Structure 1
Amino acid sequence: MEFKKVFEDELDHCYAIMRLKDNDEDFIVVASEEDSPCYAYDLNNNYARKTVWSSVGGTMTMVQIPGTLNFLATQKFYPGFNSPNCRIVKEKFNGNDWDQVVIGDFPYVHRFDVFPKSDESGYWFVGCSIANSKKNAEDWSDPGKIWVGEYDDDNEQVNNLHALDFALTKNHGYKRMAGYSLITGVQGIFKLQHPTATSDWQLTQLSDIETSDIFSADINQDGHPEYLTIEGFHGPYLRISDENFNTIKLSQPETPFGHAIWGGKLIDGNEYFIFGWRSGKQNLELITSDQLDTQLIDEKVGPSNVTVYEKNGREYLLSANRESNKVAVYEISLN
């Protein structure tokens, strides 16, 4: 597999990323975690850059409203993890760029999601706070919460917002699955089942190992998903587990500040993981087996988040290379 860098732009402390596509319009969006811009790059116009906002960054998460070029994003998640002023905004596409509406204040919410209800009557909201309150950035004495509710896109508000009866310390990871979400923290990995006509939100513990982030892919091609997890808050361990969370391979602590994580099918039809860390070698790597064999994609870039997308029959990797302050796109091809 070959990864060739085909685009790069400078963005201070670039962090959150998203593919934003609807009908013929097609963008990649990258936002800073500092008081810095959010940019949208037009994939139909040679990555021409539009400014979504010019300041008030602190963005950890961005979520597209299905069927539109509108999206929700966190802002003001700074400084560090001491973020009592964190908020969620809605960016509304006006045909040229985006207009902003503030949805509300969501203190310490690091990850959130909005997704359609199964009966298509609206949207569910999930928000995971990294803490409930803090005396300083290193104070973890008041654990975070899992907030749930209903997102009303017409009125641009979250209704029936309430916290589940559960305290979650140092939440960092979140992954939407089919009918449920995976949520991680010091207490381990949890499965949050989404409501149905006959059941409410249900939270089940899948692992008690402290976990920072999680992704799934059938990396050994056995027809069953494996899980890649970053362990310890921001690393340094990597673990590959089977679908029942039995360990297949645990790394040595050589990936400090593990952060970027993705899994899925690539151009050769097989599934892989992509992983990057923000300290030490600051590498971006392709994980090619359930034994954590790797191929170097880029080095000394310190990626924060990555995703893979397809455009005009070609496959690309988008990486927010935070430690080098670069937005980067790599074209993926067979050797």
Structure 2
Amino acid sequence: MKIEKKFLTDLHRCYATSSTVIDGDRKILIATEGEGPCFMYEGEDFKQSTVWDGPGGTMSIIPIPGKNGDFLAVQKFFPTFQSEDAEIVWGRYENGKWEIKTLFKLPYLHRFDILEANGKLYFLGAVLCNSKQFKEDWSDPGKIYVGEIPEDLNKPIELKVIKEGLTKNHGYCRAYHNGKMVGLVTSQEGVFRVTPPESDDEEWAIEKIMDRPTSDVAVVDIDEDGEDELVTIEEFHGKHFRINKKYGDEYKIIYEYPKEMDFGHVVWGGKLRGVPTIIGGYRRCDKDLFYIQCTDKEKLEFETVVIESGVGPSNVAVLNEDDKDIIISANRELGQAALYIVTD
């Protein structure tokens, strides 16, 4: 497996990574968490254009299923937790340019997703906290908000709280459980699986699946035994990067990143060139971007490879294509957006 880096642009506090599809063509999206722009990259030469110049404060960008490139995104979640004005915006590509409309304000909204169930689209939003008096004030814990997304996004989305009391409600990952699309939400209280209703008379289901304080999470069947492992960064912006395998009703640690790390922030699970792979990264110490693959599925032995040191990534997204895979990396501590092209 060969990995080649492609520099995209300098971008202060580069943070959010995503992609969407317009008229059948993939578009890469990268935005800053500071005050500043979101950029789009398209074509085989990754031509850059501007989605917005500001305000910035972008944590997440999620494409809307069934639309032609439309997405929802967080704006105004500024460092360091200056995010009482955080809001969701709707991006729509019309006549060769992006139109951005604010849909609603949701203070301290850090991660969100769009889940599909019962023929409907649902918004799931995880707010880091409910309020703050100062940076390290965690006395007012976060919540999970949900709401049905209408076909016409000019109509309001009615939100309700389905879970409270989530301290440092920071991480999120989409997953599948029993054939259903679910969301995994992380906090000091553990990892929670959130399942949308399958019918109009059902309620959202919430189940704690891990009891350890967790900052971020991903899922992947790393040993290909048919059951997903949980990959976690523990605790908040933590020093521990772990693979957890389920034995009975309990997850047990089967791997821990061997180097000293701090401010863990990237965790992704999926496939690179068809091989189950975990991508991780951290923003202090050596600031590595790395990947992990299982080399012995019986003995559960793993190979860890540093893709690049000194970059301090905040988030990655991955595009799997026929002849290559593309790791989209927000190398925050370098103030840099980059791609890592993976080929056989």
Smaller-chain TM-score bracket: over 0.9
Write the deviation string for residues 230-279 of structure 1: whole angstroms up to 9, x where unpaired.
Answer: 00101110121113422223446722011111111111x32010101011
Distance 2:320 2:257 in 1: 31
Task: State, as a whole percentage, how many aligned pairs show the same letter.
Answer: 37
Instruction: Within 5 Å, give how 1:201-216 maps onto structure 2.
Output: 201-216=204-219
SS of residue in 1 equivalent to 2:333 = helix
Task: Give the TM-score normalised by the residue count of structure 2.
Answer: 0.91
Distance 2:25 2:185 in 1: 32
Counterpart of 2:117 in structure 1 is 117
Name whichever of 180-189 and 108-117 sits farther off.
108-117
Secondary structure of the corresponding residue to residue 129 of structure 2: coil
1:315 deviation in Å?
A: 1.6
Select 2:169's aligned residue among 164, 168, 171.
171
Q: 1:306 aligns with which of 311, 316, 322?
A: 316
1:319 paired residue number = 329
| C-alpha contact (below 8 Å) 2:115/2:182 kept by paired residues | no
Which of 325, 332, 342 aligns to 1:332? It is 342
* Shift in Å, 1:165: 4.2
Matches within 5 A, 1:229-244: 229-243=232-246, 244=250
One-letter identity of the residue aligned with 2:266: A
Which region of structure 1 is more displaced relative to structure 2, 290-299 or 200-209?
290-299
Change (3 A) 1:219 1:266: same
**Alpha-carbon distance in 2 for matches of 1:13, 1:106:** 22
Displacement of 1:291: 4.9
Q: After superposition, where does 1:85-164 map in structure 2 within 5 Å?
A: 85-118=85-118, 120=119, 122-164=120-162
**Equivalent residue runs for 1:21-60 within 5 Å:** 21-42=21-42, 44=43, 46-60=45-59
Higher mean alpha-carbon deviation, 80-89 vs 251-260, is at 251-260
How much has 1:15 moved relative to structure 2? 0.5
SS at match of 1:176: strand
One-letter identity of the residue aligned with 1:263: G
Q: 1:277 maps to what in 2?
A: 282
Closer/same/farther in 2, CA of residues 116 and 216 from structure 1, 3 Å limit: closer
Separation in 1, partners of 2:74, 2:272: 30
The TM-score normalised by the length of structure 1 is: 0.93
Q: Closer, same or farther in 2 for the Cα pair 1:79/1:284, shift >3 Å?
A: closer
CA deviations on 1:159-184 (whole Å, 9 max, x unpaired) are: 33111242111011111223321110
Q: Match for 1:219 among 197, 217, 222?
A: 222
Pick closer, same or farther for the CA change 1:21–1:165 going to 2, 3 Å. closer
Q: Residue in 2 aligned with 1:258?
A: 264
* Secondary structure of the structure 2 residue equivalent to 1:220: coil
2:2 is aligned with 1:2: yes
Matched position secondary structure for 1:323: helix
Contact 2:145 2:163 in 1 (8 A): no
Rate the CA distance shift 1:160–1:263 in 2: closer, same or farther, 3 A: same
Paired residues of 2:141 and 2:164 also in contact (CA < 8 A): no
Deviation at 1:22, TM superposition (A): 3.6
Q: Which structure 2 residue ranges, 5 or more long, are not aligned? A: 295-299
Aligned pair count? 330
Provide closer, same or farther for how the CA distance between residues 158 and 237 of structure 1 changes in structure 2, counting only shifts above 3 A: farther
Q: Distance in 2 between matches of 1:210 and 1:252?
A: 20
Residues in 2 aligned to 1:168 and 1:203: alpha-carbon distance in whole angstroms: 13
Question: 80-89 or 215-224, which moves further after superposition?
Answer: 215-224
Q: 1:311 to 1:96 in 2, by over 3 A?
A: farther
The one-letter code sitting in structure 2 at the alignment partner of 1:127 is G
SS at match of 1:110: strand
The structure where strand makes up a greater share of residues is: 2
Q: 1:50 to 1:188 in 2, by over 3 A?
A: same
Are 1:236 and 1:253, in contact at CA under 8 Å, matched by a contact in 2? no
> Secondary structure at the residue paired with 2:157?
strand
Which amino acid in structure 2 is aligned with residue 85 of structure 1? Answer: D
Q: Which runs of 5+ in 1 are unaligned?
A: none
> CA contact under 8 A between 2:115 and 2:196: conserved in structure 1?
no
Q: Secondary structure at the match of 1:256?
A: strand
